[in-house]
Amino acid sequence: MSQIALPLAWPADPRDDEFLVTASNARAAHALDHWATWPVMASLLVGPRKSGRSLLARIFAAKSGGVMIDDADARPEEELFHAWNRAQSDRRPLVMIADAAPPEWKIRLPDLRSRIAATPIATIEAPDDALMRALLEHKFALRGLDARADLIDWLVTRIERSHVAVIRTVDALDQEVMESRKRLSIPLARTTLAAAALIPQSPEP
């Protein structure tokens, strides 16, 4: 999917414009948008940190009138057990956000384990090329930095394919531009990011 889209059918909130949809997260967005089709009134939302998963859950809660629990895998299991049961009795959908689903998420309470096993999972994957480009363009624009298309393409092929890497890359380049008062460019990015260990040292042109 090369087309970047915003969840325009969802609540128009200025904070929502940071959740960009591409193939890497479209299934998760679709699953939460169609919560009425869930087999139970609960879902897990899993994916990398900084991937917009909390933002996606907030959009879901605003639209559905549902409830979100962030960092569910770090919350008391009794709390999750009661929240799951309450969602069923109240018919109010619940999204639990976690780094990973079971079995990677080790659940000790048998009653919660059985309920989570019956709960659908929406997964945000590592960003694809389209999302990497969109995130870089968006975050550079927020900093008021003029990032040309050739620089964006160069970064996409060199930095780690993760949401965290995008944030750290933009932070490092923003800092360097402010301190050096130089124009944002591929040579500046190469030197800055190599020094910050965000890309490997390389003799490439």
Specify the pLDDT at position 197.
Answer: 95
The answer to whether the CB of 94 falls within 8 A of the CB of 41 is yes
Q: What pLDDT does residue 15 have?
A: 43
Summarize pLDDT for 118-129 with one digit per residue, the tens: 999 999 999 999
Q: What is the pLDDT of residue 201?
A: 73
CATH 1.10.8 residue ranges in the chain? 129-195
CATH for 129-195 (3.40.50, 1.10.3470, 1.10.8, 1.25.40): 1.10.8
What confidence score (pLDDT) does residue 19 get?
A: 80
Going by CATH, does the domain composed of 14-123 fall within 3.40.50.300?
A: yes
List the beta strands (DSSP E) in the chain. 42-46, 67-69, 94-98, 121-123
Give pLDDT, residue 204.
52
Sequence ranges of the chain with CATH classification 3.40.50.300 = 14-123
CA 149 – CA 152 distance, rounded (Å): 5
Which pTM was predicted?
Answer: 0.81
pLDDT along the chain (205 residues), means of 10: 37 53 93 96 95 93 95 97 98 97 95 97 94 94 93 96 94 95 95 94 58
| Nearest residue to 42 (alpha-carbon basis) of 103, 111, 89 | 89
